Structure formats: structure tokens, C-alpha cells
Structure 1
């Protein structure tokens, strides 16, 4: 299926299938993977094309520092997922749908194959309805390289908010379920994330929309189906705060594509105290702002997360506080205990790591039949496609645990030993099992079939939607291709199945209590070891707790009028913990009342972990402020949801052995026993941070924070 546009043909000459087949398997790579063609490539989406190569699409921005010209959905191409070549923009200057305003930009592309066409969904930032009225548009193409033609009508039209404003209709993500129903997820902070059913051609939403994630917390939806669950990936916090960008990805799952989605702790994503199990967050290395993801699977069946991030040493494309420089990263996505996490919880990589598998022992794009022997029937190859009927068998057996993939059109499939998996009229046949295909299934269009064999169990999946399973004999397998008349096949790969990572990365574990640094608040006054920055006489000790009315003050930006209660921290590795009671209510707007822990090197240099009211939501935010470019930079990463009134908070400290920075990782619990660990912020090596407590952000309605203790433990 070698199809490309004339406009891209010259750029693709050096990336022919023959060259890709001959290239050696890359062993390691280093992020960012977009460095070869772009300094920034935000909101990335990666798909495998008809030609066996991978295509990446990014949001509208200049690609290089100093360029100053925005690319309208820049597109890159790769044979190995880590070495990319820019091949052009999806849209020419001035190319826009009829409903788009002249100043519209295109954000967050989502590209999917639907039969013999490709559909790209994009955010159209401005429409002819008026300023701020965004929509979701769609364009179609015969191949992932284009040419792309906009549909004149929006898939999702601008949506009024009901109070005179307009909801943010951003960040589309398409999903097809096993019964053939198509859905589109969309939305952002102002309005939340919604899902609507799509028309069969994928170009219009139909019926009522359902909100699946709360406003003021989530955007950047991406949904995949695994083991009967639908997983909603979503990003939180500010995408673009330069060196303090805390943008991160979390996930919830549901048995129904319309939700409700819940996290590992059973918390829903569509309520005021919204949950979300962390997938990737800043981890203390060079990368911050790790968010807005897509997902791609390599030829060994290993999932990978494509996402953008910000190098905190080079956070802007050009001038400070301008366009944030967000290159594309790629990292292994592991599924541990039914939940996805990047690199088993180690998160973004900044050093060389093992590359995706994009070369397999048996791999064919059909220039010849040299890798096969004809068992029966008649077969020919022409134009890079295999045509015929009967059975072809590989010349050598494959390992017991394997993954096989093929693109096919018509009644065709794979044979694993004596077991046949093939598309037939109305069904996917998996050995003796018959799995019904969705109504309207077009057998004459191209489809993608994968077969995984592990420990004697064969699982077949067609187009990432329809699946079936059977048992096969253990041991090595002779793999074959099977087809009836008028079938075509392409892009065959067979190789070892990836061994899943089952053990999560270690998290901080508290040891013995450091009593000399801790305080149980058992007296009637503060211990002398405490000192106040801007003393607040309203903070008192009684009944075994520090009680502190939340101040109408803050520390961010130029405010610097809030009190900070501090004490010295021990040397080395330790965990500071407090039990906080703070009644912030539900749903109502109480900006930005908060209380919690702080690592404080100064009014403009701190990391603050607090339960906080952010508009209608209640979140635990790990905020960070530093001096930058003659001003200050503040951002936060979301760790999770606070308890109804009581939340346990932890800061785990270590010193980076290479650069001497102080690293602080945030942890939260709603019961004092089960902990979720979130992102990392750093303070400079030459600073001397103290640890303390804060209660500020707004005085109305009056609320008092109660701290039961501050304990330090060795880690």
C-alpha cells in the first residue's frame, strides 16, 4: 500500500521501503525524538501508515528557534519511531474549512484510519461565529501523508457555556468500539472533557454528549481499550509555564466508553474531587511539563507514550515568556496491575534507553517471495503487495511467544502453526471460534490484523477493536499467510512478543522517625524550633494540633504577603509528613484557599504541596516558583484529589548526586495508609531550604486548617 502525494514525494525518496527493510535495528535512543527536525512539536500524535512507516503530527507552531513562522500541523515520518524526518505541513497557508476564521490556528491533531481513508481531527481555534468560539474540524486524505481536504462543516460546532461565554472545544480524540460505533472525545479546562457518538463516516457528532471529566482540571483526552476496559488519559495543570510547567498525564478507566471513568482508588474523574492515577509527571531530571499524549504500539506489542515536555534549561522557543518549547518525547508505557505508567513509574527518560522494536526476524513489504514457500494456491507480488489465494509458509519457525501483524484486504489472515486467524464474510475466525464483525464492516477496505501468542494462548485483534482468543500448542510455530481469491496482503511482521514489565519503580518508603526535627503539637504553644516569616498570631496550638485560619494572602508572583511557618530539615534523604484537616466543601468557587507543606528557600523560590480549591474543583497541587529572566515563574503539577476533610501529605527529599540539587517528590493519602506519589520539583544546590507549613489563598468563607503533626522520617 505505497501511496503518497506528489508534494511529499521528493521528501520521501530517501525513506523508501527497501531502505527501511535494510536498516539495522536501532538499539538505544535519547529524548527528545523530534530533535532532528524540530525544537518544538507539541501535542504529538503518532500512527503507523499504509506504507509501514510511522507518521507524527504536531500542533500549529514554528518548528525551530528564530523561525517565527507557524506550521499548520507539521508532519514527520520515521522507520523506527525515534529517527524522524520532517515531510511537510498537512495544510497550506490559507487552507481552512469554510467555518474557520481567517486567524484560526489548528491544534492537537488526532489521526485515524477509517477504511480506505484517513481522518484528521483538529482544534480550530477561531470560527466565523465570533472570537473565542472554537470547534473541532476534520480533514480526510487517501494516506497519512495527505493530501488533506477539510470538511466544510465542523464535527463539533462552537458550544455556548450558558453564561454568555463559549466552552473550550479543544483536543479531539477518536475511538472505535468492537461493535463499530465511533466516538469523539473533546474539551478542555473551560467545560471539561466530553464524549459524543460519531456518524459512521466519522465527520459529525450525533445524539447527546456526555461529560466524562470535570472542568478546570482536565484536557488533552486520549482513550484506548485494553482487556475490556476503556482508559481515559488526560492532562492536568498549566501546559505552558516555562521552567515551572507542571503539566502531567493521569488516567481513569471504565467498562463503558461514556464512563464514568474512575482511577485506581475508585475516584471518579467527573466530580469536584476528581481522581486520576498518575501516568507521567516531572521526575526531577531535565524534563518538566510532561503531557498531552498519544499512544503507539511497536512490532513486539510494547506500548509507547508519545508526549511533549519542556527542557527546564531551555523552556522557550525564542524570548522568555513567549512560545513554550515543547519537543516530542517517546517512552515505554507499562501496564502494571491493570494501570498504565511510563517506564514502570520512573517516568520521562533523559538518557539513552532501549528503543522500540521496529525490525523483526520475519518482515516483508513484498518486493519478492524469498522469505516464503508456497504450501498451496497461487501467489504473486506486484507494486509492493501480495495477491493470491492459498497458503504461504515462512521458511523458518518462530519463537513460542510471538507477535504477528499484517495489513489485509478481503478474505485473508495469518496462520500460527495449525491455527488459522482470518477475516471471512461477517466474522473474524480465530481457530474454531467465530467473532462477529460490526455491521457495515467493509471487507474490501484495508484492515490491520495482529496476533499475539503467549504461554499457549493466542489473542487476535482486528483494527484494534474486534478481538478473539484460543489455545495453541506450546513451542515454536511455523507462521503462514492465508487468503482466498481477490485478497491482498502487505506489511507483514513476525517476531518475539515483548515481555511485559510487571514490577513498578520504587517509591519513597518512610523509616524511623527523626524526633529532633518533628513536632506532634502536644503543648499549648509552638516549639521554639519553629520560626515565622510574617508571623500570624491567629496560628495557635491546642488540642494536639496547630490551628491556622486560612489567610487572605499568597506567595505567588509579587504578592509575597502570606505567613510561612518553618523549621530546619535534616541532612540527606528524608520524608516530611503532615496530617491536614481542611474543610473546603464541594463544587463551589473558593479561589484559592489552601494549606499544606512547603520547602522554602525564599518568597520567590519554593515548592508548595497543598490541598487547594481551584474554581469548582478540589485538588492537591504541588506548586513551584523560581526567579526567572528578571521575573518569577510559577507552575504546579496535580498529585491527586484531597480527602473530604482530611488529607495526609508527604515531601520526600533527596540530593541529586550529579548536580547537588534538592529534589522534592510529593505524596498524598486520603486514609493515611494508601499513598499516591506524584511529581518532583527541585531547588538549587546552593540554596538552604527549610520545611514548613502554610495556610493561605483566600479568607472567604472563613476556614481553619488543622495540622496534627509534622514528622520527619529517614528514607
Structure 2
């Protein structure tokens, strides 16, 4: 999201048009590229170094060989923020390219906000689609704050809406409609409005009807039928919710074969070097769902589903999200998305203002499910370029990344909690009251506490043991008796930590977050420069009545700075595992393995075992 932030199935299916087909085999292959994309600014040595919420579209009119890239309103580079004045914001920058690698900035799409936008409103997250019937391009976008007359509530700044602009050319000039496509949507009284963000129209080329997706964490993602006119777009009928609230934003839906795939992003988009923003997918037989993940869990469930498509993998790129998916002329799928360089996370002179360049990587389908680079995720090395023009081929070949597996069980560090008392290997950080924990029935009971481990709020108890030297896998199975559905038990949680101290750890826990239950994978650091966070999080697979949690620790020999990589896995049955993101950290040789049960009193966690193994791969 965000800057700093139908007819029957047969009829709808007819609207989803891929405007080209896979080219026949060709000896002509394209060159290469390396992330990030750096569009040039004509007449200068400047480059576009931030392109948040990117969307890509190939020119749809006959003879147009260009691809077009559109971004959310932000500064282009450090020159736009350097100096004593206010940053220079570009309202929806536009770029074009013939090869999907070398891009040129061609101007801003919306130099003037809609007449119905409030003063100072942001224009975010564009999406562009072409109407073959009307020979026009339609750009939908977010207006973060509308006039009082539009929302019906004076003095509000959170009454967001979806606008539309039309043009005969993909780079404008754009004519903005004098009414929103989706007006602000009330959640309650006063200035309580759902987040009406991140539009996406199904397909690249349609006729005069389509499906529009919109929404964000507060209220969830929704879909609606729309009809196009010469100068606008109108939502028709009602809306259908397709995700639970407080989990997803940045929808992009594509059709592949008989299925529709929803790509959506989760967690904080703009948290500097601790940004854990990641992309997840659900699949449905209808464009309006219901969408379920690879494990069969609904994206509408309280224990919310979503199969990871893209997350941080331990290189310099974090915050990999808000993506757009397309195919090249060789039939290969690709995705463009924004990310954060943890070595250069902020605009110059603006500590805390996260810079989000655009990245490009191939998208593969493994067992019918999308994953970037066959599970390797973001590239930071030279890559084969897409086949951007007819007759070209790409030399990209998937190299699937197998999941980590446990090796030999390390008996001295493993515990099945038999007997009636804790083994002497365990020790407490802030021992809780004796009645709130115990070994019973072959499990360790640990009542949730009204305490936490979060920045300077270090009041929760941690049960710890030594960790082995070198690489290892630690796993537990936990039952947290928070109800599976309903709001709110914020932020009750229970799970694993690799604990270097109250302010230096990674944590994987089943957590209650508003109306959702998620598996949060978090990192905290003891110090950070001014404007930088100390805590960041991502999420993994859905929890269950009993949730398996696994953290893989791997050293990075010879690395500077963070010297360890920690990768999260979750499972609902102990057999099928979901791999999540990888945090880098520097917890050192004295880090310990721990258990936590915290975030609010009134519930209990039961840990069936802690098993520590060597790393099998």
C-alpha cells in the first residue's frame, strides 16, 4: 500500500485477456539485469530509486512495443529529499521500457489531485488496465483523504476512496473522474472508516466490464463488479469480502488455467531495515473467491490462510511486497515488487522515511502454487532478463530450493516434558508465580502473562536452555487456547525464541492479532539509529489447534554485521511445512533457546516438546 503506508463465472472469464501468447522457441535470448531496477531520468544522471507499489502493463494498442511501470506518490531519489526544504513528491511516476530492464521516467500521471480530494491528500498505489471496447486506459488509484462533502463527515483525514483517470495513451494526459469509483466506507461513527486502498482490476485488457479489488488491513480486501464509461468507471452491485481484516493489502489477481490467484501482502510496508512485508497467495475457482491456500485454509478464516510467495531470504533485501504479476513472450511469469535495502533503507536527510525501489524476479509455479525464483525469492545477483518482445526467449531456468530438514536429534538439548517437574537444564528469566506453569500430562503448561518482550517493555518471563554450537533446528508443538475466531485478544501469543537478551532475539509464535490468529516471526535489536525501529515482524503459515513451530539457525561464515540467519517454518499437522522468511541477526555464541507465553493473561499454552537437531541440509 501506501506511502508513509460480476457476472457469472463464464462471463467474467471472458473478460480476462492475455494480450499475447507464448512465442515459439527462439534462439534470440535477452540480456541480463540485476536488482534493483533504476529507471533513468532524461537529461540528468538521476535515477528513480523509490518506486513503491509498482504495477507493470505492456502497451495494449497496435504497434506499441513499450512496457509501462507506475508507482505510488513518493520522492524519486535522495535529491528530492536532500536539503532544508520539504521533500519533493511525484504524484504517480510513470516509466517505460522496451526490455523490462532499462526504464526511463516519463513524468507524473496526476500532477493535480481530483477535485473531490481534500487538501494534502495522498495519491497511492495505481493500477492501469486497457479497454478494447473504448480504446482507453483506465488508472485506478487511492485518494487518502476526501472532501467532507464526499465522506459526509467533517474534519476526517482517514476517509480514503478509490479514484479513476482515463487516457488514450498509457502515459497520459490523464483525465480524472469527478467522482470516486469506491467512496469512503464507514466502519463506525465519526471518522471511523475502513481502509479503501490498493485498487487492482482483473486482467490487462478488458472490454467494458471487469472486476475491481480494493481494501487493506482495516476491513480486509473486497471485490466488486465495475462498468467502464468513456471517462470513468462505476462499481455495480454489492461488494464481496475476499480476505479477513487485519492481514492483507496490495491485491493483485491473475488467472492461470482454471484458477484465479490472489497475491496480497502482509505486515508493515515501511519499517526501514526491519521491514518484514511479504507476499502470500490464495487460489479460487471464481474471481471473487472463496480463496484458500495450499494447505486448504481460507483467507477469510480467523486462523488466516496464505501461502508464501515472496519474503526476505537473508540477503540485503527485506520488505519484499506489493507486487504485480505478468508473463513475458516466452511464457515465463515474472513479478515486479518493491523492497527495502537494509544497507540503505531511508531517503537522504529523512531518517525513518523508508525508500522502496522496484525489483524484478521470475515467478515459478511449483505444484500449482506461485513462488518467486522457485522458492529462492529475491535475487541480488545477475539474472537473465525477460523475453520482452515477440520472438525473444529468456535463458532463466528454475532451480528449486528444497526446504531445510532436521538432522540428528541432539538429546542433550531436547525435552519431551515427561515427569512432573522441569529438567534442571531449564532456567527462568523473571520466574513467574509457581501456579502459572508446570509439567503435567506430558506437556509443559505455561499460562499467558500480562507482559511482553517488545522494545523497552521487557516484563514477560522466558524459559531458557543452552543452545548447541553451530547450526541447528529447534522445534516445538504448542496449543494456545485462544478462540480460533473473533476479536480481540491482542496480543496474546506463545512460541519459541532464540534469546540473546531482552532486546536481542528472534521469536516465532502463534499470536492473536485483532480478529486474526497468525504465526508471527519477529526480530528485535538492542540499539538503532535515530528514526530506525528496533522491532520488526513478518508472518508465516496459519496456526491450528496445535501448531508446529520450527526455527532453523544457520551461520554465515565471513559475513560482516549480522552473522546468523534464522528461517521460520510452521505446520498445522507436523508433516506439511510452510517456509517463511529469514531474519539475519547477531545473537552470538551465548544465545539460548526459549519459550514464551505472554501478551495478556487469561489463557494457557501447552508445549508438547522442544526438539533440537543438527541441520540436515
TM-score by length of 2: 0.86
SS at match of 1:567: strand
Equivalent residues of 1:188, 1:219 under 8 A apart = yes
Equivalent residues of 1:43, 1:307 under 8 A apart = yes
Q: Does 1:142 align with 2:168?
A: yes
Q: Does 1:594 align with 2:613?
A: no
Change (3 A) 1:618 1:221: same
The correspondence for 1:45, drawn from 38, 55, 59, is: 55
Instruction: Please show how residues 554-573 of structure 1 align to structure 2 within 5 Å.
Output: 554-573=452-471
Change (3 A) 1:89 1:320: closer
Deviation at 1:274, TM superposition (A): 1.3
Q: Which has the higher contact order (CA 8 A, sep 6+)?
A: 2
Equivalent residues of 1:34, 1:329 under 8 A apart = no
Distance 2:208 2:303 in 1: 34
Deviation at 1:650, TM superposition (A): 0.2
The correspondence for 2:512, drawn from 581, 606, 613, is: 613
List runs of 5+ in structure 1 lacking aligned partners: 1-23, 360-492
Q: Does 1:520 align with 2:533?
A: no
Q: Deviations over 1:250-280 (max 9, x none)?
A: 0001111111001111111112111001100
Deviation at 1:242, TM superposition (A): 1.2
Distance 1:497 1:60 in 2: 32
Change (3 A) 1:635 1:120: same
Distance 1:39 1:604 in 2: 32
Change (3 A) 1:559 1:346: same
Q: Deviations over 1:166-192 (max 9, x none)?
A: 011000000159997401000001110
TM-score by length of 1: 0.75
Equivalent residues of 1:58, 1:74 under 8 A apart = yes
Equivalent residues of 2:30, 2:395 under 8 A apart = no
Q: Does 1:167 align with 2:63?
A: no
Distance 2:450 2:488 in 1: 15
Instruction: Please show how residues 423-442 of structure 1 align to structure 2 within 5 Å.
Output: none
Greater strand percent: which structure? 1
| Residue in structure 2 matched with residue 273 of structure 1 by the alignment | 303
Equivalent residues of 1:604, 1:632 under 8 A apart = no
Distance 2:31 2:612 in 1: 43
The correspondence for 1:693, drawn from 570, 591, 595, is: 595
| Residue in structure 1 matched with residue 440 of structure 2 by the alignment | 542
Deviation at 1:342, TM superposition (A): 0.2
Equivalent residues of 1:282, 1:288 under 8 A apart = yes
| Residue in structure 1 matched with residue 475 of structure 2 by the alignment | 577
Which sits farther off after the overlay, 684-693 or 56-65? Answer: 684-693
Instruction: Please show how residues 294-693 of structure 1 align to structure 2 within 5 Å.
Output: 294-319=324-349, 322-359=352-389, 493-495=390-392, 501=398, 504-537=400-433, 538-585=436-483, 586-626=485-525, 627-629=527-529, 632-643=533-544, 645-659=545-559, 661-684=563-586, 686=588, 688-693=590-595
Deviation at 1:286, TM superposition (A): 0.6
Deviation at 1:572, TM superposition (A): 2.6
Distance 2:210 2:430 in 1: 57
The correspondence for 2:73, drawn from 46, 52, 60, is: 60
SS at match of 2:325: strand
Deviation at 1:245, TM superposition (A): 0.8
Deviation at 1:63, TM superposition (A): 1.0
Question: How many residues are treated as equivalent by the alignment?
Answer: 553
Please tell me whether Structure 1 or Structure 2 has the larger radius of gyration of its CA atoms.
Answer: 1
Change (3 A) 1:163 1:269: farther
Q: Does 1:124 align with 2:140?
A: no
| Residue in structure 2 matched with residue 254 of structure 1 by the alignment | 284
SS at match of 2:105: strand
Question: How well do the aligned residues superpose, as a CA RMSD in angstroms?
Answer: 2.0
SS at match of 2:273: helix
Change (3 A) 1:560 1:250: same
The correspondence for 2:129, drawn from 112, 124, 141, is: 112
Deviation at 1:520, TM superposition (A): 1.3
Change (3 A) 1:611 1:328: same
Q: Deviations over 1:71-96 (max 9, x none)?
A: 0001112221122221111122xx12
SS at match of 1:640: coil
Distance 2:282 2:308 in 1: 9
Deviation at 1:333, TM superposition (A): 0.4
Deviation at 1:162, TM superposition (A): 3.0
Change (3 A) 1:220 1:553: same
Equivalent residues of 2:39, 2:105 under 8 A apart = no
Distance 2:207 2:302 in 1: 33
Equivalent residues of 1:345, 1:504 under 8 A apart = yes
Instruction: Please show how residues 104-253 of structure 1 align to structure 2 within 5 Å.
Output: 104-115=121-132, 116-129=135-148, 130-164=156-190, 165-176=192-203, 181-201=209-229, 203-253=233-283
Which portions of structure 1, spanning 4 or more consecutive aligned residues, are displaced by more than 3 angstroms?
176-181, 318-321, 495-501, 685-688
SS at match of 1:494: coil
Change (3 A) 1:28 1:241: same
Distance 1:270 1:144 in 2: 35
List runs of 5+ in structure 2 lacking aligned partners: 1-27, 41-46, 81-86, 149-155
Q: Deviations over 1:334-370 (max 9, x none)?
A: 01111110000110111112211235xxxxxxxxxxx
SS at match of 2:251: strand
SS at match of 2:463: strand
SS at match of 1:516: helix
Distance 1:320 1:547 in 2: 47
Equivalent residues of 2:541, 2:571 under 8 A apart = no
Q: Does 1:27 align with 2:31?
A: yes
